[in-house]
Amino acid sequence: MGVKNKDAHFAWNKRRKIMSTFTATVRPKSKQSIFQWIGNHWFSTFLIVYGLWVFTPLLAPVFMHIGWIGAGKAIYFIYSFFCHQLPERSFFLFGQKTMYSLHEIQAAWWDSINPMILRQFTGNESMGWKIAWSDRMISFYTSVWLFALLWYPLRRKIKSISWWGLILLLLPLAVDGGTHAVSDLAGIGQGFRDTNVWLAVLTNHTYPATFYAGDALGSFNSLMRLITGLLAGLGIVWLVFPYIAQSQTYNQQLDEKSYAKVIEQIKRYDSHPSGG
C-alpha cells in the first residue's frame, strides 16, 4: 500500500511539473504584452506608425490653406529637424505651380542665398504652400512605405538581397546627395550642380536649358533626387522586410514546437497508470 502511495505521489508531482510547463507555455498566448502584440502585428504597426510619420508633412500645406496656421507651422517646425525644407527643392500645393525656381522664391520672399533664410519660406496665397518634406525626402520615405505595401502580398516569394545589393541601390543617393552638398558650399544657386554645365557638355546640349539648370520639376536635379530616393527605398525594403518576416516565421515555429512538445508529454504520462 505504501509503495502504491509513493508511486501515486511521484506521478502526481510529475504531472504537476508538466502542467506548470504547459501553463508557462500557454500563458504568453492568452495574455500578451504590448511588445509581443507589436511583434505579432509588426507589419500593420509599421504601416500605421511609419505612415503617420511619412504623410503628416502633406498636412502642412492643407492646414495653411484652410487657415489653421498654428497647426501648419507646428508641422513645419517639427519636420525642420529632419529635412532642409529648401523651397526651391520642395513641392507646393494649392498654388500656381508645383515647384518654383530659386529666382521665383527670392522674388517672393527674400533675395538671399542663405539656406537658413530660404528654408523659412513656406508659401503664400498665390504660390501655394510647400510640403514639409523636400522632394528627395518625399521620394525616399514614401517609397519605403509603398514598396513595403507591394512586398507584403509577395512576401513568401521574395528573399532578401545581399548587402552588396543594398549598397548598389544606396550608392546613387549617396553620390547625388553628396555632390549636391559639395555644390551648395559655393552658395545656393551658385554651385556646379545648379548649372550642370558638365552634363550639358557630356550630352552635347541635347536637352533644353531648363533641364540642366536649377531644381524645378522635370530638371535633371529634380529627376535624380526622385529616382535615387526610390532606389534607396527599394533597397531598404528588399533587405530588411524579408529578414523580419523570416525571423517571425522562425519564432512562430519554435513556439509551436515547444507547445506541441508539452502536449505530447501530457498525453504520454496520462496514458501511464498512476499505480500498480
C-alpha separations of 173 from 79, 185, 222 in Å: 21, 18, 13
Residue 93 belongs to a domain = yes
pLDDT class of 27 with cuts at 50, 70, 90: very low
Would you state the pLDDT for residue 274? Answer: 47
What is residue 11's predicted lDDT score, i.e. its pLDDT? 54
Q: Report if residue 7 sits inside a domain.
A: no
Number of domains in the chain: 1
Closest CA relative to residue 85, chosen from 58, 125, 121, 124: 121
Question: Is there a contact between 213 and 194 (Cβ–Cβ < 8 Å)?
Answer: yes
- Averaged pLDDT score across all residues of the chain: 86
- Whether residue 23 lies inside any domain: the answer is no
Residue 27 belongs to some domain of the structure: no
Confirm whether 34 is domain-assigned: no
pLDDT attached to residue 47: 97
Q: Which of 159, 145, 134 is nearest to 217 (CA)?
A: 134
Structural domain includes residue 68: yes
**Rounded-to-10 torsion of CA 162, 164, 166, 170:** 180
The domain of 66 spans 40-254
Question: What are 100-140's pLDDT values in tens digits?
Answer: 999 999 999 999 999 999 999 999 999 999 999 999 999 99
Q: Does residue 33 lie within any of the structural domains?
A: no
CB 71 within 8 A of CB 105: no
Is there a contact between 42 and 248 (Cβ–Cβ < 8 Å)?
Answer: yes
53 located within any domain: yes
SS3 per residue for 117-131: HHCCCCEECCCEEEE
The residue among 139, 128, 117, 129 whose CA lies nearest residue 73 is 129
- pLDDT per residue over 54-91, tens digit each? 999 999 999 999 999 999 999 999 999 999 999 999 99
**Residue pLDDT, tens place only, 213-254:** 999 899 999 999 999 999 999 999 999 999 988 887 776 666
Q: b/e map of 180-205 (b: 16 or more CB within 10 Å)?
A: beebbeeebbebebbbbeebbeeeee
Q: Which residue has the cell 496520462?
A: 270
